[in-house]
Structure 1
Amino acid sequence: MTSATAEEFETHRPRLFGLAYRLLGSAEEAEDTVQDAYLRFSGADRDTIEHPSAWLAKVVTNLCLNRLTSARARRERYVGPWLPEPVATSDGALGPLEAAEQRDAVSLAMLVLLERLTPTERAVYVLREAFAYGHREIAEALDLTEANSRQLYRRAVRRVGEDRSRFESTPERQEELVRSFLTAARDGDLSGLEKLLAADVVWSSDGGGKVSAARRPIEGREKVSRFLAGASRTFLAGVDFTLAEVNGSAAVAVWAGDTLMTVMAFDVRDGLIGHVRAVANPDKLEFVGRQLARA
């Protein structure tokens, strides 16, 4: 590959990474997929590539579809709740997140909902929602008819929209709430925690069987508050906490020295915390750990 061609690919890399991450829910796999696309681009006859952006998007999408098929089988055997890999977004890793809709599209909550979809439904939905592809472009990328693309999109919207809760507060309000949560959890302040949590709050922990984590979601204000108050006495001693923007919203990173132990992401609704997703599987923290270490 000539240096000019390599430079051209680099102009597409951020967008391709954002596409692969939304499709896979894994930053590490997204990086590998983009690298595979780079190798294909380097070996392709450039005279046959009229529109590099569309060509690369099609390659990445189809590489992701292959990975999603095998990932489904692995996730059926996953120990405890499965959560996506978190990605720090303050540096624009997933593109501009200036609007609530943009932040919602990359939230862990949305990526969990996308797991309901078949691989092809997910590809159609992401290309349409996140990248504003027309159905003709989607059909060409996925070797579908336009009618089939429209049908898959309608089905995906229906399946995702059933439990979709959009961002309802400003980033500043989210950060304020997360700071208060962190202070109450660190102090083991049970009543303080309860004031911040919705009555039907849920705590989900992803340890992947590799670290200690709740194997089932913890549900309800009282149970979650007591769980956190207990954790503050046993697990939170001797660790450091930092606030970060992860997947478009305020999050908490838990460190033991230079090792990232957990990332906690928050869903906020009606001014209260409705869901906390705690990613502790060390395999899922490598990418975001490198990001935050550079911050």
Structure 2
Amino acid sequence: MDRIDEATVFERRRGFLLGLAYRILGSRAEAEDVLQDLFIKWLEADKATIANPAAWLTTACTRHCIDLLRSAQRARVDYIGTWLPEPIQTLHHESPEHSHELASSLSTAFLLLLERLTPKERAAYLLHEIFDLDYPQVAAALDVQEATCRKLVSRAKASLGNAQVRHQPEPSRQQQLLSAFHAAIDSGSTQGLAALLSEDVELCADGGGKASAIRETLYGLEAVLGFVGESLSTYWRDYQWQEVEINGGRGVVLRGGGEVVAVVSFGYDGEGRVNRVFIMRNPEKLGLLGSGVLV
């Protein structure tokens, strides 16, 4: 296998590997770094000893991500304010089934739920439940016995519960929310928005100590509506709004002076009402916005 063939094999697997790395790490930037390191490792590997290149790449990617996630989780203890996954701009797929699966496994709410898991539980769950690898394949990727692998997935399922956060309402419902949210910012009146939020709605923001953002999560309809109708309406009214797909659902990119200053995405309950509002303000997590992930 020459260099061109080696690169072709890697590129064919790039989308899968990037999607896996992002879901494990919650960071597009870190996922891109993983793929750069992995590509070099792949070029240097003895291909004569690799019977299944796809499996080799999946295993190397998974193990590298697990090591990084362990370090990242320790670093998040000292993170300033609320930590949120790095938002990504996703692309709408022509297949409704594919779009739903994409949205459900990339949503910010679901990625936050995965934070409950240990690194190996997270990797095992994603490989088996999202990417449909069988238990022997997952066990090989994690270098554990199949019985251990089954326990990892079982524990992950128990920790995640019914994972209702993977619910995404119809696009028309999401668009209705965006219109009401924008109207509330423009006018300061939240009456229309209130009907689309759950009573136990939460709002959190990630500034990372590098941009102004609330550091504590707001709980309840009154608190969230008050913040949107007063604070956000005051400071966001003059920003440029762009409605895009963010982590598989409809969201908003806000720009000021030509720069992205905030990204807003939402989580939904089983009845299609918003129960989570996520605001990303950390400039370090906004730099790669616009790169699509389809797997």
Q: Distance in 2 between matches of 1:145 and 1:105?
A: 26
- Whether contact under 8 Å (2:34, 2:61) holds in the other structure is yes
Give the alignment of 1:94-243 within 5 angstroms: 98-161=98-161, 164-243=164-243
Q: CA deviation at 1:6?
A: 1.2
Question: What are structure 2's unaligned runs of at least 5 residues?
Answer: none
SS at match of 1:87: coil
Q: CA deviation at 1:7?
A: 1.9
- Whether contact under 8 Å (2:89, 2:244) holds in the other structure is yes
Deviations, residues 241-260 of structure 1 (Å, cap 9, x unaligned): 11000111000111113211
Q: CA deviation at 1:91?
A: 6.0
Deviations, residues 16-36 of structure 1 (Å, cap 9, x unaligned): 100100110000000000111
Deviations, residues 171-216 of structure 1 (Å, cap 9, x unaligned): 2221222222222222211322322221111001011111111111
Question: What are structure 1's unaligned runs of at least 5 residues?
Answer: none
Q: Distance in 2 between matches of 1:59 and 1:235?
A: 45
The one-letter amino acid of 2:85's match is P
Q: CA deviation at 1:274?
A: 1.1
Other-structure match for 1:8: 9
Q: Distance in 1 between matches of 2:198 and 2:85?
A: 23
The one-letter amino acid of 1:65's match is I
The one-letter amino acid of 1:223's match is A
- Whether contact under 8 Å (1:80, 1:207) holds in the other structure is yes
- Whether contact under 8 Å (1:174, 1:268) holds in the other structure is no
Q: Distance in 1 between matches of 2:232 and 2:59?
A: 47
**TM-score under structure 2 normalisation?**
0.93
The one-letter amino acid of 1:130's match is I
Structure scoring higher RCO (CA < 8 A, sep ≥ 6) equals 2
Other-structure match for 1:283: 284
Q: What count of residue pairs does the alignment treat as equivalent?
A: 289
Kindly indicate whether residue 256 of structure 2 is the aligned counterpart of residue 264 of structure 1.
Answer: no
Deviations, residues 225-254 of structure 1 (Å, cap 9, x unaligned): 110111244311321111000111000111
SS at match of 2:86: coil
Q: CA deviation at 1:275?
A: 0.8
Q: Distance in 2 between matches of 1:13 and 1:152?
A: 26
Q: RMSD between aligned alpha carbons?
A: 1.9
Q: CA deviation at 1:49?
A: 1.1
Q: Distance in 1 between matches of 2:62 and 2:249?
A: 26
Other-structure match for 1:73: 74
Other-structure match for 1:19: 20
**TM-score under structure 1 normalisation?**
0.93
In structure 2, the CA distance between the partners of 1:190 and 1:174, relative to structure 1 (3 Å rule), is closer
Q: Identity, % of aligned pairs?
A: 38
Give the alignment of 1:28-39 within 5 angstroms: 28-39=29-40
- Whether contact under 8 Å (1:139, 1:145) holds in the other structure is yes
Q: Distance in 1 between matches of 2:258 and 2:208?
A: 21
- Whether contact under 8 Å (2:79, 2:208) holds in the other structure is yes
SS at match of 1:165: helix
- Whether contact under 8 Å (1:190, 1:225) holds in the other structure is yes
